[in-house]
Structure formats: C-alpha cells, structure tokens
Amino acid sequence: MIGMATTQGMGSIIQLEKDKPRGKCRKWQLRVSLGKDPKTGKYYQKTRTVNGSYSAAKAALREFIEEIEENRVQGRTSWTFKAYSDYFLEQRELKKEVAKTTLERQRGHFKAACMHIGEAKLEAITPAMLNSMYIALLKGESPSGRKVGGSYVNCIHDNIKLVFDLAIKEGILVENPCLKADPPKMDTKPKKAISPDAVHVMIAMLDETKARDMAYLIAVTMGLRRGEICGLSWKDIDFDRGIVDISHSFDVYGNLKQTKTKAGMRLLPLSDNMRESLLKFREAQKAQFDRTNSFRHPWEGYIEIDENFPVIATKYGTRVNPATLSTWWTNDRSRFGLEGFTLHELRHTYLTLLAMNGVHPKVMQELAGHYSSQITMDIYTHVNMDAKREAVAAVSKVF
C-alpha cells in the first residue's frame, strides 16, 4: 500500500487570467510542493487548474493539500464535465435506463452546470467549485439569466452526482466531489388544497359534455395525474363492474406508455356519480364526432370511436398532450375562482379530501399510485395535525 504523501508549506495559487484584476479572475492554478526527492535531488510539486473566485480557489487549495496527504488525488483524464455529462446521457438513452422526459430534464440541469464547470476537467472539479456554482445559480447566473430556486439547484446537484458516480465506476476518478459540497436547502412551495366548498362550486360549474371540463372532473374526483388522464382510453373503464384501470400514461412527446412505476398501475373504484358523468360524456363525444364525420371528405377518413379511443380527445380524435391540458386549466381556472391553483393541485385536493374523511394512509397510497408511502404520509399527517389543532383549540376554551 502506498504511504501518505507529505506536502511542504501551504501551497500557492497562480492567477492564469493575467489580463484581469484578481477580483475578476476565474481561472487559477494550484501548486503544492512535495519537497526534494532524496535520490535525484529534484524538487517535486503537484498542480491543479480550477475555476471560480479567488475564495473558491483558496478553499480548493486546502482540499487539494488534504487529498495529497491522504493519497486520494484524482486521476488525470481528457474528459471535461460537458463531454462526460453528454456521454452519461448517451449511455442512459442507449440502455433505456430512464424515460425520455427524465433525460430532457437532466439535459437541462447539465446545461446550467456547464455554464460554470463545463470546460473543467473532471479531476479538477472540487467541492469548493461546486459550492461557488450553486451560489452563482441562485444569484441568476443561469441559462435563463434569472435566479433559480434552491430546489432546482438541489436537482442539479443530485444529477451531477450521478455523473461523477459513473466516472468512479469506470475508474476515471477516485472520489465524488459532490459528497463534500453543500447544495442549498429545498425551497419548493408546499402544494395547496382547494377547500371542500370551493370544490363543490367548481364541480357544479363543469359542463360534462366538454372534454376539458371532464378532464378537470377526473383529476379532482379520481386523483389522476395529467399524463394518466391523457392516457385513459374507453377500454380502461369497466362500467358494469365500476372499475377504472390505470395502466398507461401519455407523455409530452406523444408516447402512450405504461405508468412510470408499478405502483402507478392500479385499479380504481368508479363512484356512481362519476359513472353517470362518464356515460353522459361518452354520448356527447360520440355525437360530436358524428357531426365531424358528416363534414369530412372520404379521403380524410372517418373518426371512429372504439375501445382504444381516448377519453379526453382533441377535435381531430387524437390524444391531448399533457402540456395542453395544463394550458386549458391555466386559461379556465379563473372561471372557477381558483386563480393560483395548478392542475396538479386538483389531484392534491383529492388526496387531502381522502385524509380529511379518515381514509387510511395505506388505502390513500394505493388510490394515488404513490411509489413511496412518505408522500402519502406527509399529506395525511398534515391534515390530521390540523384536525388535532382544532380539537385542542376547542378544549382550550374550557380553561
């Protein structure tokens, strides 16, 4: 086993952008002396190039010295972060490890990171450089030029960690710098639930013969995700047994596929009210396309409503894109007095109402198709705590 290296002195930082004042320089060379070789009489030193502010370079120098003394210096490679992150995405796509939507999301995260560390060699990236990048992103040094939130920076951190993990697995690096970096705290706004009274008002205003209104009704009374709503076909609804089979999702790229997780595949009971609403909507949909077919030329073909026909369809008889569904909601929500509520919060409202009515968390999880019980428990605990607060407040009036 190789012994630990001994450094001489505190090391030095050399400014590489000579034409800039030190406060503006963003490229530095770290130099650490290892002393004189007793056999050759030559003096040895290790160097590393880093990007970032002078303060980040000073922190990187301390880390560099620690790595040398612990014999953990990263290997040298020609890979830059940008080139290796592109390779990472290519491998994931070829192996079909994740969905296309996940790949696109990761590509966006790497694009933001590459603004700061894209041209840096993998072995030269340090925790201090990553921390400097996180701060810069929070301040607005992002692809959009706008400040990004802590939750988004956390996602970037998590995804570049995967890139470095692969580099370690392939023997390129020794250590993952993300493990010692400090990403900001998550700051995602908590989802809001619509009050029961407001839900009643909304449902009373919905037109059960219109596709967009039926989509909202499905979201708030069955708790489906937007991709699941768009992926729903008439064959998935068993009106006789009162069961809806949720096994497909339609993504923004036009792909009808199985739900993201096995937990997402589920059978949902169909309430009597929802059964009647869907039957009424199906008749209206058939009448709509009968009228459409009467105006179509024979060479255009006829729109046939069979068991594979989408429940929520465009005027051309195709599936509605999930992004379009969100746009519909954004345009319509003020009609219901629900400005500020997102489409996904209709699903959150459904789960909150389940919790308010005492449904067991395990049943909630199965109805929602949650992969993790933690998501369900967060909702259940929050609602249950509100009920407890009301009970305590009522008792406190006695004293």
Among 128, 8, 135, 117, which residue's Cα sits nearest to residue 61? 128
> What would the mean pLDDT of 120-146 be, rounded to a whole number?
93
Q: Are 256 and 289 in contact (CB under 8 A)?
A: no
Name the pLDDT band for 38 (thresholds 50, 70, 90). Answer: low
As a whole number, mean pLDDT of residues 307-315 equals 95
- Find the mean pLDDT for residues 333-349: 95
Residue 100 in this model has a pLDDT that exceeds 90: no
Run of H or E residues at 55:
helix 54-69
Banded pLDDT at 4 (limits 50, 70, 90): very low
Higher pLDDT, 316 or 42: 316
b/e map 48-65, b = 16+ CB within 10 Å:
bbbbbbeebbebbbebbb
By the 8 A CB rule, do 370 and 263 touch?
A: yes
For residues 329-333, average pLDDT: 97
> Locate tokens 């909702």: which residue?
379
Taking alpha carbons only, the member of 389, 260, 242, 397 closest to residue 322 is 260
Of the candidates 158, 164, 91, the one whose C-alpha atom is nearest the C-alpha of residue 121 is 164
User: Given this model, what pLDDT does residue 357 score?
Assistant: 87
What percentage of the chain exceeds 90 in pLDDT? 63
Q: Mean pLDDT over all residues of the chain? A: 88
Instruction: Tell me which of 97-111, 292-306, 322-336 is least confident.
Output: 292-306
pLDDT in tens, 168-182: 999 888 889 999 999
pLDDT digits (tens, 9 = 90+) for 58-88: 999 988 888 777 766 566 678 999 999 999 9
The predicted model gives 231-243 an average pLDDT of: 97
pLDDT at 115: 95
Task: Give the per-residue pLDDT at 103.
Answer: 92
Report the alpha-carbon distance of residue 364 to residue 350 in Å, rounded. Answer: 10
Q: What is the pLDDT of residues 253-298, one digit of tens each?
A: 899 998 877 778 999 999 999 999 999 999 999 999 998 888 877 7
**Distance between CA atoms of residues 122 and 78, nearest Å:** 8
At residue 2 the predicted structure's pLDDT band, cuts being 50, 70 and 90, is very low
Q: Would the pLDDT of 307 be above 60?
A: yes
Q: Assign a CATH topology to domain 8-180.
A: DNA polymerase; domain 1 (1.10.150)
Average pLDDT over residues 118-144: 93
pLDDT at 3 (0 to 100): 39
Q: What is the largest CA-CA distance in the chain?
A: 96
SS3 call for 233: strand
Structure tokens at 139: 């301040």
Strand partners, 319: 313
Give the separation between CA 242 and CA 278, rounded to whole angstroms.
11
Predicted local confidence at residue 143, as pLDDT: 95
When mean pLDDT is compared over 38-52, 74-88, 332-346, the highest value belongs to 332-346
The CATH 1.10.150.130 domain(s) of the chain lie at 8-180
E strands, the chain, are 8-15, 27-36, 43-51, 237-238, 243-246, 248-250, 256-258, 266-269
Environment class of 237 (CB within 10 Å of its CB; exposed 0-12, middle 13-18, buried 19+): buried
Enter the tokens of residue 175: 């250590």
Whole-number pLDDT of residue 302: 78
- Compare 207 and 100 and report the one with higher pLDDT: 207
* pLDDT computed for residue 395 by the predictor: 67
- Backbone φ and ψ for 112, nearest 5 degrees, come out as -65, -40
User: What tens digit of pLDDT does each residue of 210-231 get?
Assistant: 999 999 999 999 999 999 999 9
Closest by alpha carbon to 121, among 169, 54, 180, 50? Answer: 50
Q: Indicate where the chain has its CATH 1.10.443.10 domain(s).
A: 196-387
Query: What CATH class does 196-387 carry?
Result: mainly alpha
**Phi and psi angles of residue 210, each rounded to the nearest 5 degrees, phi first:** -105, 140
So what's the pLDDT on residue 75? 63
Mean pLDDT of the region 297-313:
86
pLDDT tier, 37 (very low <50, low <70, confident <90, very high otherwise): low
For range 321-348, the mean pLDDT: 96
> Nearest Cα to 125, choosing from 171, 172, 69?
172
